Amino acid sequence: MEIKTVAVNDNERASLADHKRSNVSALQVAGWIGVVVAAPFFLWVPLGFTSFIPSMIDVFGIVGLRIPAAVTIAGLLLAAVGFHRI
């Protein structure tokens, strides 16, 4: 009598492989939207040190920096949720 063992990871690998074969899901679209929301603020910080564009402090002030920070964090959280399987 032979006992066959199946590891739990085999099922997870199979479901992950099936998920990768499917088309772009709504979560991946949400992840890319999060990246698009956060990217301008990431680019604004180094470009603000140059004289090409005004810095965030010039536009929002010290107290108002929480506005772009909140938008950036929201975009990054959305990207994290969207890309959690990748």
Q: Residue 66 domain-assigned?
A: yes
- pTM for the full predicted model: 0.67
Q: Residue 59 domain-assigned?
A: yes
Count the alpha carbons within 13 Å of 30 in the hemisphere toward its beta carbon.
Answer: 12
Q: Residue 55 domain-assigned?
A: yes
Give the structural domain span for 57. Answer: 24-82
Q: Where are the alpha helices (DSSP H) in 1-86?
A: 8-21, 26-48, 56-60, 66-82
pLDDT single digits (tens) 5-61: 655 555 555 555 555 555 778 999 999 999 999 999 999 989 999 988 999 999 999
CB atoms within 10 A of CB 63: 7
> Domains in the chain: how many in total?
1
pLDDT single digits (tens) 67-76: 999 999 999 9
